[in-house]
Structure 1
């Protein structure tokens, strides 16, 4: 059989056939004019080689199997172990790729030192988006949950107020009108003040504010009053929040100040404990500033933020050097209490 015919029958390239010949797997004869002529034995050997290579068996092991120096099934068992390790490695690689893609991170050297890790926080301490962020961005799903919480609280308070008012006002129609007005007013007020963001531990009192660190820059929302916050809330429900949020490229951030403050918190105990928290102040080239009081930072976002700030912002004011703690995933309170 000629080389061209062999290529068609086995669907192997001429280069691959020559390679197997060079490895000594086949020894075609030459006819009178010098052209290779493959025997039936060569064809059967090449079919076997193609099958074994399709199982990801190395060329050396293929030669050993064909020569009878290696058992086929033993080779499969060894390859299965290697393949399982490769699959696990590929899964980890895919997980990392998905995480970096979803987070929309800038390409900075510090990324190699950060292990992709997502924590399963309890309800109320979960991230709302996959982007690296200070605070938790208000999303449509979370806005709906806030509406349910505000509706329930407003309904209970309005009902209690109306019952009390019934002592003074007798006509039921008046009480119904008062109930509706009180309910709507309280509901709007709760939404506008982002009441659901305030916890007794003061761990998330950020008034729907957030800063997302994206590949090209940061996008943030700054609370500027009840009317503006209500407008932002509605924009989130209509998927138009980006029209209200501000975006600055990293080169437009002139300075970031990190302030470390000591707070005293009681967590179900008679004695308060010391907790260090961070405030962030962003300065931009157009003169704008954004001061973010005590934002919640979840998962490993602190490490990403520290690495991004160091790589992208030319001036960082950080008298306590907490940027070091952020980059290395250290607890800020422990770091400050053990700081020399």
Structure 2
């Protein structure tokens, strides 16, 4: 069988076949005119070589197997171990690629050392996006869920009001409807409030995402703006309300530690520390983020990103250090 026929027969290029010949795996016969002639035995040997190469067995090991110097099963065991190590290595690489792509992370090598250890948290604190963020981003799914809850709440309040012993005559139904609409709008508009001492009110529906090239956020502009933004999110039209600032356009970041007293509904309150973030941009605008809730890994990502990307940082209590180390803020600040 001539070389061109052999190429078609077994699916190897002539360069690969000649390489195997050079390495001593095959010894084709030569015709009087110098052309190579591959007999059936050589063809079968090449098929075996191709099979073994597909198993990622090295040329040296293949030669040893064909020469009877290496047991095939023993070789498979060695390759099995090596292959498992390669799979683990490739999985680590894939996880890193997925992490950088899904989170839209900037090109900072240290971020690859942060592992995915985010735990699900109760009380509505679950992350709503895959990106790195302060707070909890309002997504269409979350907004629709809040819409249903708010609708039911406003309806209960309106019905309760309409049943009160007021002498409203025929206006009772109309007053109930008006009361429902007003209550519903107010509940939506003020669902962004961040000044209450209640835990759940302080991170509601606001977030700052730290993306590959800058931060992405919604700037509170009062109840009417909040109401419009809420329904824009419901209908996937939020982009007109969102702001993006490139890292190079952030003039300063202030990390502010504050002592607060929190209540979970009981008459008793307890002392706790919270951190606020104030961004000052080079165009003179500012963005103040109150008391953000941060999951552990996001805290590490954020601290690493801002230290690398933001030109000037004011952090008198070294909050970013605590974030990078995954230290609880109360544990870190008590006694300082």
Tell me, yes or no, if structure 1 residue 316 matches structure 2 residue 313: yes
Q: Residue 193 of structure 1 aligns to a residue in which SS? A: helix
Q: Distance in 1 between matches of 2:84 and 2:167?
A: 76
Residue of structure 2 in register with 1:102 after alignment: 102
Q: TM-score w.r.t. structure 1 length?
A: 0.89
Name whichever of 201-210 and 253-262 sits farther off. Answer: 201-210
Between 1:100-109 and 1:264-273, the stretch displaced more is: 264-273
Which residue of the partner structure matches residue 233 of structure 2? 236
> Which runs of 5 or more residues in structure 2 are unaligned?
none
Q: 1:269 to 1:180 in 2, by over 3 A?
A: closer
Q: Partner residue of 1:152?
A: 152
Of the structure 1 ranges 17-26 and 108-117, higher mean CA displacement relative to structure 2 is found in 108-117
The offset of 1:97, in angstroms, is 1.9
Q: Which position in structure 2 is the counterpart of 1:219? A: 216
Change over 3 Å in CA distance of 1:337–1:15 after alignment to 2:
farther
The one of 153, 166, 169 equivalent to 2:167 is: 169
Output one character per residue of 1:298-331: Cα deviation in whole Å (capped at 9) or x when no partner. 2511111111111111100000111112223222
Q: Secondary structure at the match of 2:163?
A: helix
Distance 1:58 1:201, change over 3 A: farther
Query: Unpaired runs of 5+ in structure 1?
Result: none
| Deviation >6 Å, runs of 4+ | 195-200, 268-271
Q: State the Cα distance separating 1:3 from its structure 2 match.
A: 2.1
- The residue number in structure 2 matching 1:278 is 275
How many residue pairs get matched?
336
CA distance in 2, matches of 1:240, 1:202: 29
User: Within 2, Cα distance between the matches of 1:15 and 1:237?
Assistant: 61
- Superposition RMSD in Å: 2.5
Is the CA contact 1:204–1:295 (under 8 Å) kept in the aligned structure 2? no
2:38 paired with 1:38: yes
Deviation digits for residues 109-162 of structure 1, max 9, x if unmatched? 321331233422335011111111111111111111111111121122222212
SS for the counterpart of 1:264 is strand
Q: Residues of 2 paired with 1:189 and 1:170: CA distance?
A: 23
Could you tell me how far apart the structure 2 residues matched to 1:60 and 1:192 are?
A: 72
User: Which has the larger displacement, 246-255 or 76-85?
Assistant: 76-85
1:120 alignment counterpart = 120
Q: Which is further off, 90-99 or 255-264?
A: 90-99
- What does residue range 1-340 of structure 1 map to in structure 2 within 5 Å? 1-122=1-122, 124-164=124-164, 167-169=165-167, 171=169, 173-194=170-191, 201-202=198-199, 204-206=201-203, 208-265=205-262, 273-337=270-334
